[in-house]
Every structure is written in C-alpha cells, then in structure tokens.
Chains A and B, each alone.
Chain A
Amino acid sequence: MLRSLAFLLLAATFSWALAKDAAPAAVDPALEQRVMTLASELRCLVCQNQTIADSNAPLAEDLRNQVREKMRQGSSDSEILAYMVARYGDFVLYRPPFKLTTVLLWFGPLLLLAGGFLVLVRRVLRRRPEQDLEMNASERKRAAELLAGNEAERR
C-alpha cells in the first residue's frame, strides 16, 4: 500500500517535471517554424533593431513563448499580431501598418525621389540652350590658329 502510494507520488512528480521542461523546447518543428516566421515580424522593444526571433533579450524570449503558447491555443497569426499591437503599439510591427499617421513613412522616400527627379529634369532642360556648342566663323578661325600654334610649338 505504502509502496504503491510512493510510486504514484514519484510518477506524478516525474511527469510534472517532464511537462515543465518540455514547454519551451522545439517539440513540433512545424509549430516552431510558424513561431519563428511570426517572431521575425515583431520588433524586440529592448534591442529595437532586432526582431524577437533574433534577439536574446529575456523579453524577446518571453514574447516568443507567448507567441508559441497562443499558437498552441489555436490563435491565427493576425490575432497574435493584434495581441502584440494592443500591448506594445504599432512599433512592434516590423512592417508598419498603412494608416493616416504612417502615410509620410510609406510615401516619404517616394516623395523625395520624385522631388529629386523633378529638380534633375528641370536643370537638364534649362541647361541645354545655354550650352550652345555651335561655333561661328571667327571662333573657328581662332581655334584653327591655336591648334596651328600648338603644332608649331611641339615641333
């Protein structure tokens, strides 16, 4: 009686220990793949230029675990992203959403490029008439003289 009780107790603690260890490890490669794909979309707030997939910060680890747990519970990727945004703001998203406050972010570079192109085009168009390469008769003559003089000097 006592022995079986001890065995039961041992078995219970053993499975408990196993369960505790197994949680963060890569048990299911497909799930792990999904976790890492989504994690590389999320910014680590501690080391801001890394994703939570890249970062070793404790918070990144916690957030990866949170993503994994949510996926196990059957949350979709977009649900998990919404969960993160609700807590950390749009800043956690490596691909910022398109909205009124981010219009400049999305179109700023394009705007600068277009502006630069416009300036370039205007300059090129304006410069052309100034650089008239046609020579008139007297310029031709002077050029010929200079060239002849050069030739004479060289000899």
Chain B
Amino acid sequence: MNRFVVPLAIFAALIALLGVGLTLNPREVPSPLIGKPAPHFELPQLHETAKTFTEKDMLGKVWVLNVWASWCVSCREEHPVLLDLAASGAVPLYGLNYKDKREDGLAWLKGMGDPYRLSIYDFDGKVGIDYGVYGVPETYVIDKLGVIRYKRIGPLTPQIVKEKVLPLVQELGRA
C-alpha cells in the first residue's frame, strides 16, 4: 500500500502541473512594457495625414490605445466590443492602424463604424515594434502620467472590458 503512495503523489502532481499548463495561453507573453512609460511616437493621423498625433497629447488623461488592421481577422470579432466601449464614453479610445493600406483602413472604418477618436497610421510597423506588438489586435491602457498599465494581446471581449479595462480605467481616473 505504502509503496504506491509516493508514485501516486508524483503522478497527481504531474497531472496538476500539466493541467495548469494546458489552460495557459502561450501566446500571451507578459509584456515588459507594463509599468513603463508608453514609447514615444509621432505619427500621421489616418484620416488627415497632414496632422500628427503623439502620446504626449494625452498626458493628464487615462486613455486606451487599440492596435488594429483591416487584414486582421480577430479585429473583426473585436470591433463591436470597441464600438460599445466608445459609445459608453468611459474612456477615450485611440486606434493605431498597423501595417495597413491607408485606403483599406479607411474603408474598414467607413463600413464597420469608427470607434476611435482618431487613428494613427503606422505603415511600416515601426511604432508597433516599439510597443512590442506581435499579435494584432492589441490594446493598451495608459494612465495620466503616460505609463502603460495594462496590455491585452488578442481581441477584447465584453468580459475583459467589464472585468479588467473599465475597473482599471476608473481606478486610474481617481488617482
């Protein structure tokens, strides 16, 4: 009887370890940018390329930056969630159009609705690299001091907005 206890315990521990491993998503690499100032950018706006937008314009405000592209399939799934978030007026939402053709990006917003106050246009993906983007869509919550407080890799869902994004935005807004 006793000789089975140790192997059984080891087996159970292994099963538990592998079980937890199965529920984790290897695509979600913890970003080193959380708690760090948002990397600097100054990019043309998608609608009016003559105007630029920089993260410095948002100092003093809590805001959300969403990385999207017209070629991105999950963005389609995420889009209604963004429209809802924008309609709620809880937080200013800005878009970063990532490695897209400008006309495709504009057509996307025209066809599906534009949730963003404005979108910036990152044609060559350089700003994307600075923000550690690798799985569009990605979403960043940036606080009043311009520090990244949260990053979501992959589409936002109503649940994530309700349980993570909105409470964080409220908390940061009070600070």
- A contact residues vs B (CB 8 Å cutoff): 45-46, 48, 58-59, 62-63, 66, 85-91
Contact indicator B26/A87 (Cβ below 8 Å): no
Task: List chain B residues, Cβ under 8 A from A91.
Answer: 29-30
A45-B134, A88-B134 known; A62 and B29 CB under 8 Å? no
B60 at the interface (CB under 8 A from A): no
Contact indicator B26/A62 (Cβ below 8 Å): no
Q: How far is the CA of A59 from the CA of B129 in the complex (A)?
A: 9
Of the candidates A46, A48, A63, A85, which one forms a contact with B129 in the assembled complex, judged by CB atoms under 8 Å apart? A63
| Minimum C-beta distance from B134 to chain A (A) | 4
| Minimum C-beta distance from A2 to chain B (A) | 31
Task: List chain A residues, Cβ under 8 A from B29.
Answer: 45, 88-89, 91
Of the candidates B27, B30, B33, B125, which one forms a contact with A87 in the assembled complex, judged by CB atoms under 8 Å apart? B33
Q: How many B residues have CB within 8 A of the partner chain?
A: 18
A48-B26, A87-B33, A88-B32 known; A66 and B129 CB under 8 Å? yes
Interface of B is mostly: loop
Q: Render B111-127 as a binary contact track against A, CB cut-off 8 A, 1 for contact.
A: 00000000000001110
**Known contacts A62-B125, A62-B128, A89-B31, then 9 further A-B pairs from the complex at CB < 8 Å, ordered by chain A residue:** A45-B135, A46-B134, A48-B26, A62-B124, A66-B129, A87-B130, A87-B132, A88-B31, A89-B30
Contact indicator A87/B135 (Cβ below 8 Å): no
CB closest residue in chain B, given A65: B124
Of the candidates A63, A87, A90, which one forms a contact with B131 in the assembled complex, judged by CB atoms under 8 Å apart? A87
The A-contacting residues of B in range 27-82, CB under 8 angstroms, are 27, 29-33
Contact indicator A89/B32 (Cβ below 8 Å): yes
3 cross-chain pairs, A with B, having the tightest CB-CB distances, nearest first: A45-B134, A87-B132, A89-B32
Q: How far is the CA of A90 from the CA of B27 in the complex (A)?
A: 14
B102 at the interface (CB under 8 A from A): no
B99 at the interface (CB under 8 A from A): yes
Q: How far is the CA of A86 from the CA of B32 in the complex (A)?
A: 6
Task: List chain A residues, Cβ under 8 A from B128.
Answer: 62
Q: How far is the CA of A62 from the CA of B128 in the complex (A)?
A: 10
Contact indicator A85/B32 (Cβ below 8 Å): yes
| Minimum C-beta distance from A126 to chain B (A) | 12
Task: List chain B residues, Cβ under 8 A from A58.
Answer: 99, 125
What are 8 A-B contacts with C-beta separation under 8 Å? A48-B26, A58-B99, A62-B129, A63-B129, A87-B132, A88-B31, A88-B32, A89-B30
| Minimum C-beta distance from B153 to chain A (A) | 9
Task: List chain B residues, Cβ under 8 A from A85.
Answer: 32
Contact indicator B129/A87 (Cβ below 8 Å): yes
Task: List chain B residues, Cβ under 8 A from A62.
Answer: 124-125, 128-129
